[in-house]
Structure 1
Amino acid sequence: MPGPAHPRMAPVAENASVTQLELFFDLVIVFAFTMVTDFAAHETTAVNLLRALLILAMLWWAWIGYSWLGNVVKADEGIGRVAMFVAMGAVFLIALTIPESFHDLPGGWYGPLVFVIAYLVVRFVHLSVFWLASAHDAQLRRQVIRWAAGSLSVASVLLVTGALAHTTLQLGLWLAALVWDMGWTFFAGNEWRLYSASHFAERYGLIVIIALGESIVSIGVGVAGLPISWSIAVGSLLGLAVAGLLWWAYFDVAALVVEHAMHEAGGERRIQIARNCYTFWHFPMIAGIVAMALGLKKVLSYVGGAQGHSLSDELHGIPLFALYGGVIAYLVALAGFRHYATGKVLVPRLVASVLLLASIPVATNLPALAALGVLCAVLLAVIVFEVVRYAQPRDLIRHGQL
């Protein structure tokens, strides 16, 4: 296995696990996800929701670079460790600047430009370490040059220009930068290195767990300072159950099957599974969790009687679409995740997505707590069906007999 030739870099072993420093980095990223949820909740309009989704996608795109880098260079050794801490600081500044990423607040630095500069620091630190790691690896060096030449060069100009523009133009330029960045990465080739499939799969599994944990935090935030009551207890437990069922949907079988497929694949096919299943299909999962967190936060504030709401109030508009749409995006992304790696379609997940979509008009006329109950019931039904219907193959997969 070729490894980084730089004396202050350590290559990643095939049986490597996620380091504690990578987990620390991920916690900072998820703090930024939390700030995105707050940003979306502050102004529940379609435009603001699009802004929040764009910021979340930029954070995701910054994070995935370090998931690939951490599979080539040990994150907690030498230059890798220094790079992680520098990137961590920049991500923290991004998170703090999210509230004024589109509307600069009076006093202090110009928020949108600080946001972009911090984001570009994260990206260029990642590129610099990859450049050093590829010093004696001609294939990886070609891939890094090809990717950086078309991706960061164009995206950087669009991002900086957007930060200095007015709001509508800013949104358009930042969106164009992200679409270009993602598109170029998809078509820039398959000559990346992936030394440890288990490390890579574990890293993405952990970010899903931490993001689900953020949704639990949203439940607590929604009822913070309110006296405990039966409605708050039931709503909180239903929210926890929804998060737990989403955990089950990912980790019970799907994550194991795709990780196995990536282990078995070689050459370009392994890179394609890593890129498409994890880098791309995981984003709708994370976006779905963040959207669901926004919906849960609103539900719990309703059932707790915050801001003049009552238990009989309906959840409608963007909070309802965030709650149901987030879960739908998660389920569809899980289906795509598994289908690309194995060719199998998770029909029950897609049926559940259609049922949830069809339930939105009904949920609009239900009290918020009842709408959450319907969501939980559909998820529970699909999980129970899969456990019973696919009992034998599930048992074989979970006990390592693929």
Structure 2
Amino acid sequence: MTSSEAVPTEPAPFRRMVPRSKAESHRAATPLELFFDLCFVVAVAQAGSQLAHDLAAGHLGHGLYSYAFAFFAIWWAWMNFSWFASAYDVDDVPYRLTTLVQITGVLILAAGVPRIFADQDLTLSVVGYVVMRLAMVTQWLRAASCESGGARTMALRYAAGITVCQVGWGLVLLVPESARVWVLPLGIVAELSVPALAELHTQSNWHPHHIAERYGLFTLIVLGETVSAATLAMQAALDEHEALGELIPLAAGGILICFAAWWIYFARPVHHILTSNRRSFLWGYGHYLVLGSAAAIGAGMEVAIEYATGEAHIGAKAATAAVTVPAALYLFTVWLLHARHSKRGPAQVLLPVAAVAVLLCTLFGESGVLAAGLVCAAAVAVGVTLHSRQSQV
């Protein structure tokens, strides 16, 4: 190495938490962010597994309600950290330690997910969630101490809003279980309102390329968890029942759906969509459905496999719907958030039509998952063909 070459140095132990530039070049996810994502997948896996158990047992309403709440807690804490890190990641010792506290919180939350599904016991999950969110408060207070003017006001609004919400979640534990079905949505609305109110006059310095990459990476990890859950369920079914003939079509359909889900999400760059807070917030919030449906596909595959081996207490169409409904929702929401901004002509309606076709595959019963996989693969093939033709014009 020549003397003129730069020698990488470790980050300073303590830094001022000043905002990063929105025009920063080569802004990419850090190893800490990747570690953060991987730890969150533990909670995603727990929620998906419990959803599969409820659906296979025929407890549709209970399963969907519990899954929606559990996944919101996971997704919202992840999302808040990601947007904050995009603007204020100083990568010093206090920042790293605070992030590790947040990871501890998600592990506590993950441990409590089975209790949410089993008997609606929210205590452990709420404790884990509050740990994550109060750690986020300290990050915003630190940012406020280094800011001035409108940016300082924004950071303090974040800290105050998140704190109020956590007090509210603590009070939720005192509410009778029969009333929680009405109270929990209020808490969710309050959480969703904090960023909009905090950034009403001043926008944080999140980085469009970085945010697009962070969401893409988490989508990848969730899709990977979906493949893992389906594979483990397939392996267990083969070990116990050796029903190879029934499982091969399911495996083929599930693989095609997951491959298509990856292809469709990453078909075009999306950072150019994130041009304002209003558009970016809607895009970010919409990923609750993208990520939730992606994880639910894996749960649905577990249900379909249990049906094929005679262990599910539901019919063939219901078992198939456990896969086709989240797959269709995924296709439609990816179109709504991504594809419709860059498509034209026949390509504009491709994913909505594919979503409807996947839903109709439910009517095929036991062969519906394979049919849905073929529809998804066909949608990718048609999309590639249309793009190729348009590029030549």
1:213 to 221, 224, 232: 224
1:32 to 43, 67, 74: 43
Give the aligned partner of residue 388 of structure 1. Answer: 385
Specify the code of the residue in structure 1 equivalent to 2:72. Answer: A
Q: Distance in 2 between matches of 1:297 and 1:74?
A: 38
Instruction: Single out whichever of 133-142 and 242-251 deviates more from structure 2.
Output: 133-142
- Kindly report which structure 2 residues correspond to 1:101-250, keeping only aligned pairs within 5 A, or say none: 101=116, 112-134=122-144, 135-150=146-161, 152-153=163-164, 155-186=165-196, 188-190=198-200, 191-225=202-236, 226-227=238-239, 229-250=244-265
Give the aligned partner of residue 260 of structure 1. Answer: 272
- Cα deviation for residue 283 of structure 1 reads 1.2
- Cα deviation for residue 281 of structure 1 reads 1.7
2:353 to 347, 351, 361: 351
Q: Distance in 2 between matches of 1:157 and 1:395?
A: 58
Q: Percent identity?
A: 22
CA 1:94–1:216 in structure 2 vs 1: closer, same or farther (change >3 Å)?
same
Give the aligned partner of residue 328 of structure 2. Answer: 328
2:73 to 58, 63, 67: 58
- Cα deviation for residue 326 of structure 1 reads 0.8
2:113 to 92, 98, 101: 98
Give the aligned partner of residue 301 of structure 2. Answer: 296
CA 1:327–1:394 in structure 2 vs 1: closer, same or farther (change >3 Å)?
farther
- 2:87 is paired with a residue whose SS is coil
Give the aligned partner of residue 23 of structure 1. Answer: 34
Give the aligned partner of residue 8 of structure 2. Answer: none
Give the aligned partner of residue 102 of structure 2. Answer: 87
CA 1:377–1:210 in structure 2 vs 1: closer, same or farther (change >3 Å)?
same
CA 1:127–1:192 in structure 2 vs 1: closer, same or farther (change >3 Å)?
farther
CA 1:92–1:160 in structure 2 vs 1: closer, same or farther (change >3 Å)?
same
Deviation sequence 1:14-73 (CA, Å, 0-9, x none): 122101111111111111011001221232321231111111012111110111111123
Specify the code of the residue in structure 1 equivalent to 2:280. Answer: A
Q: Distance in 2 between matches of 1:82 and 1:184?
A: 24
Specify the code of the residue in structure 2 equivalent to 1:219. Answer: A
CA 1:113–1:171 in structure 2 vs 1: closer, same or farther (change >3 Å)?
same
- Cα deviation for residue 82 of structure 1 reads 0.8
Deviation sequence 1:78-114 (CA, Å, 0-9, x none): 2221111100011001001111136569xxxxx5223
Instruction: Single out whichever of 28-37 and 130-139 deviates more from structure 2.
Output: 130-139
- Cα deviation for residue 200 of structure 1 reads 1.3
> Is this contact kept in 1: 2:361–2:368, CA < 8 A?
no
> Is this contact kept in 2: 1:151–1:180, CA < 8 A?
no
Q: Distance in 1 between matches of 2:16 and 2:316?
A: 55
Structure 2: segments with no counterpart, 5+ residues: 1-13
Number of equivalences = 365
Q: Distance in 2 between matches of 1:224 and 1:306?
A: 15
Structure 1: segments with no counterpart, 5+ residues: 1-5, 106-110, 397-402
Specify the code of the residue in structure 1 equivalent to 2:157. Answer: R
Give the aligned partner of residue 284 of structure 1. Answer: 289
- Cα deviation for residue 244 of structure 1 reads 0.6
Specify the code of the residue in structure 2 equivalent to 1:28. Answer: C
- Cα deviation for residue 314 of structure 1 reads 5.0
> Is this contact kept in 1: 2:50–2:117, CA < 8 A?
no
Give the aligned partner of residue 4 of structure 2. Answer: none
CA 1:230–1:17 in structure 2 vs 1: closer, same or farther (change >3 Å)?
same
- 2:272 is paired with a residue whose SS is helix
TM-score of the superposition, structure 2-length normalised? Answer: 0.83
- 1:307 is paired with a residue whose SS is coil
- Cα deviation for residue 149 of structure 1 reads 3.9
User: RMSD across aligned C-alpha pairs, in angstroms?
Assistant: 2.8
- Cα deviation for residue 12 of structure 1 reads 4.2
